[in-house]
């Protein structure tokens, strides 16, 4: 008969507690699902939709290759937030307010506006997201919202990104999926595996 050391059971119990704790964070607290096919961003609490917004992901498709301008898939988190209290339409360059404020659909302009949620990848498939400058942010090109139009980020109307900014604290989990929001919610409930808490090299 094989003898199993007590230390094995202690390690197994610790791993189970960690998974349950992470699962609780993913399903019990505020989380965000971004659906690429539906071009929707949904705020979720207790596994249920709270708010639902149209968005724009990349016109270059999905992925995390350097200089691909694609939107990364998988679990990410809000690493930092920029723009609290700034007016809607405030223009940001290198995450700093320039002092300029644009109206929606200002002609010939396509800067980052209003709010920035800088995302950090939590999986190997999105490990470059932070260094690539993948954000959820406002855009003056609101006429393009609802269709893939970005260079990798998740774009939103200014009024909508303010609501997401206020609802999502630093550390909030973001699941960018290449499926519908409903299917992503079903998978979270039926197979509640939370994102790994790894920090990948070059992604701080």
**Residue 14: left if φ>0, alpha if ψ -120 to 50, beta else—which one?**
alpha
Dihedral pair phi/psi, residue 115, rounded to 5°: -150, 155
**% residues pLDDT > 90 (the chain):** 75
The bridge status of strand 135-138 relative to strand 154-156 is: parallel
User: Is the model's pLDDT at 23 over the cut of 90?
Assistant: no
pTM of the model: 0.81
Q: What is the pLDDT of residues 143-191, one digit of tens each?
A: 999 999 999 999 999 999 999 999 999 999 999 999 999 999 988 655 4
> How far is it, in rounded angstroms, from Cα 132 to Cα 120?
10
Q: What is the pLDDT of residues 49-87, one digit of tens each?
A: 999 999 999 999 999 999 999 999 999 999 999 999 999
Give residue 2's pLDDT: 52
In the chain, % helix, strand, coil (3-state, to 5) comes to: 25, 30, 45
Looking at the DSSP bridge assignments, the partners of residue 74 are: 176
Question: Could you tell me the domains of the chain?
Answer: 30-190 (2.40.440.10)
Comparing 39 with 21, the larger pLDDT belongs to 39
Per DSSP, which regions of the chain are E strands?
A: 31-35, 40-45, 48-54, 74-82, 90-93, 96-101, 112-121, 135-138, 154-156, 173-177
The bridge status of strand 90-93 relative to strand 112-121 is: antiparallel
> How far is it, in rounded angstroms, from Cα 114 to Cα 180?
27
């Amino acid at each position: 008969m094989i003898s199993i050391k007590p230390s094995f059971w202690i390690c197994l119990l610790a791993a189970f507690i960690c998974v349950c704790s992470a699962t609780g964070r993913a399903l019990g607290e505020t989380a965000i699902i971004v659906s690429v096919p539906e071009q929707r961003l949904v705020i979720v609490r207790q596994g249920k939709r709270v708010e639902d917004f149209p968005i724009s992901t990349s016109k270059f498709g999905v992925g995390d290759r350097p200089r691909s301008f694609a939107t990364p898939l998988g679990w990410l988190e809000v690493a930092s937030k920029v723009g609290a209290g700034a007016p809607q339409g405030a223009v940001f360059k290198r995450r700093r307010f320039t002092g300029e404020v644009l109206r929606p659909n200002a002609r010939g302009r396509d800067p980052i506006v209003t709010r920035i949620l800088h995302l950090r990848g939590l999986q190997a498939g999105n490990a470059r997201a932070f260094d690539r400058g993948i954000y959820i942010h406002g855009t003056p090109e609101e006429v393009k919202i609802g269709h893939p139009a970005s260079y990798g980020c998740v774009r939103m109307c200014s009024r909508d990104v303010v609501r997401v900014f206020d609802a999502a604290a630093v550390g909030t989990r973001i699941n960018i999926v290449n499926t519908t929001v409903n299917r992503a919610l079903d998978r979270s409930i039926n197979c509640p595996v939370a994102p790994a808490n790894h920090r990948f090299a070059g992604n701080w």
